[in-house]
C-alpha cells in the first residue's frame, strides 16, 4: 500500500483509509461485530493504516468496535476519532446540538481513550463547529491534550475556511475532513486552495457519494428504514434517476480501464492532490478489496479530461444533506 502525508503535519497514513461509521450507524442496522472486527483486521493486512471513527457513531459503539479490532496492532495504525456533539458521556443519550466546551472536549477524550483501548488519539477532529464556543478555545483545549500526550494531531470536520484559519493559528490543524467526491465537488472552490496554502491534509468522507458512484444504486433501490439516505434530497428516486448521468460518465471510463466505477471515482480523488486521503466505508470484504484497488489505478491526464468534460454538462440534482444538517456545515 502506498502512503501519503497529511499536509505538513508529518502524519503519514495509507493512501486510502477505512471509514468505520457504516459498521455501526447511519446505513441501516449495525453489522455483526465479529465480522466487522475481522474486516478491520483484514483491511490492515491489505495495507490500510488509517481508521476513522467517532463517539457519535452509535453513540460509542463504533469506537468500542474499532478499539477491540485494532488493539492487537495498535502501534501499527493511525486512529482518528471525533468530539463535538452534545452526547451524555454516561448514557450516550443525545442532549442536542453541538458541545465543544473545553471541559467537555477533555472528558470526551478520556472516554474515547478507554473505548479505543489506547493511550493516545492520533487525530482528534472537531466533528462539527460549535457556534457557541470560540474556535480558539476549542483549539486551545486540543493543544492541552496534545501537550499531555493524549492526542497527537488536531483536525476539523466540515469547517469553513475562516474557522480553519483561526484554529490553525492556535494549534496547527493536521487534517480537515469534509464530503468530497465526483458527486459533491464543493470543496474545490475555496477549501482546497486554503488547505494547500496552510499545509493541511484533506480527508474526504463519502468519497463514493454514499454509495451512488458505485453504480449499484438506481431509482428503484429501496433503503432500510433506518438508512439516513431516506432523508437526503439527492437520494430521492427522482434525483437518483436524474443523477445517473454522472454514473454513466464514470462507467464509460471504468469500462475502458478495466476497472469498476467505484475504483475510478476513488482514483479520481487520489489524482486531485497528493495530500488527499479518502476514507470509503464498507461492511463487505469484496467491496473493501475493490476500493483498495483504486490506489493502483492510474488515471492519465486524458482520463481526467474525459471525466471533466463529461461532467461539464451535468447538474447534480438534490442537496447533499437534509436542511438541518446542512446548517451545521461550513461554519
Return the active site residues: 57
DSSP characters over 218-241: -TT----TTBGGGG-GGGSHHHHH
Helix axes 301-312, 261-272, angle to 10 degrees: 100
The number of CA neighbours under 13 Å toward the Cβ of 38 is 8
- First-to-last alpha carbon distance for the chain, in angstroms, is 35
SS3 content of the chain, % helix, strand, coil (to 5): 45, 20, 35
210 torsion bin: left (phi>0), alpha (psi -120 to 50), beta (else)? left
Positive/negative CA dihedral, 51, 57, 38, 290: negative
Helix axes 161-170, 191-198, angle to 10 degrees: 20
Of 171, 156, 253, 160, nearest to 202 (Cα)? 156
294: which 3 cell numbers?
A: 483504486
74: which 3 cell numbers?
A: 495498535
In three-state secondary structure terms, 183 is coil
Is residue 16 within 8 A of residue 6, CB to CB? The reply is: no
203: which 3 cell numbers?
A: 480527508
Amino acid at each position: 500500500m502506498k502512503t501519503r502525508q497529511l499536509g505538513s503535519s508529518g502524519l503519514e497514513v495509507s493512501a486510502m483509509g477505512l471509514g468505520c461509521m457504516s459498521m455501526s450507524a447511519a446505513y441501516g442496522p449495525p453489522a455483526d461485530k465479529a465480522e466487522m472486527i475481522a474486516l478491520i483486521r483484514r483491511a490492515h493486512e491489505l495495507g490500510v493504516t488509517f481508521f476513522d471513527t467517532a463517539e457519535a457513531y452509535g453513540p460509542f459503539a463504533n469506537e468500542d468496535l474499532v478499539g477491540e479490532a485494532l488493539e492487537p496492532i495498535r502501534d501499527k495504525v493511525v486512529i482518528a476519532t471525533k468530539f463535538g456533539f452534545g452526547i451524555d458521556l454516561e448514557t450516550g443519550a443525545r442532549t442536542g446540538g453541538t458541545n465543544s466546551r473545553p471541559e467537555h472536549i477533555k472528558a470526551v477524550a478520556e472516554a474515547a481513550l478507554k473505548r479505543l483501548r489506547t493511550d493516545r488519539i492520533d487525530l482528534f477532529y472537531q466533528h462539527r463547529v460549535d457556534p457557541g464556543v470560540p474556535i480558539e478555545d476549542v483549539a486551545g483545549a486540543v493543544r492541552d491534550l496534545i501537550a499531555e500526550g493524549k492526542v497527537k494531531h488536531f483536525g476539523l470536520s466540515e469547517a469553513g475556511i475562516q474557522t480553519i484559519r483561526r484554529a490553525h493559528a492556535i494549534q496547527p490543524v493536521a487534517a480537515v475532513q469534509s464530503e468530497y467526491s465526483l458527486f459533491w465537488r464543493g470543496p474545490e472552490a475555496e477549501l482546497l486552495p486554503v488547505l494547500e496554502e496552510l499545509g493541511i491534509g484533506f480527508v474526504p468522507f463519502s468519497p463514493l457519494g454514499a454509495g451512488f458512484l458505485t453504480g449499484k444504486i438506481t431509482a428503484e433501490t429501496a433503503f432500510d428504514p433506518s438508512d439516513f439516505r431516506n432523508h437526503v434530497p439527492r437520494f430521492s428516486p427522482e434525483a437518483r434517476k436524474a443523477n445517473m448521468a454522472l454514473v454513466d460518465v464514470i462507467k464509460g471510463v471504468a469500462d475502458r480501464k478495466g476497472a469498476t466505477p467505484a475504483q475510478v471515482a476513488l482514483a479520481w480523488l487520489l489524482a486531485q492532490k497528493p495530500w488527499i486521503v479518502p476514507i470509503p466505508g464498507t461492511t463487505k470484504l469484496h467491496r473493501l478489496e475493490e476500493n483498495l484497488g483504486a490506489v493502483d489505478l492510474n488515471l492519465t491526464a486524458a482520463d481526467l479530461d474525459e471525466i471533466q468534460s463529461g461532467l461539464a454538462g451535468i447538474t447534480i440534482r438534490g442537496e447533499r444533506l437534509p436542511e438541518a444538517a446542512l446548517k451545521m456545515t461550513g461554519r
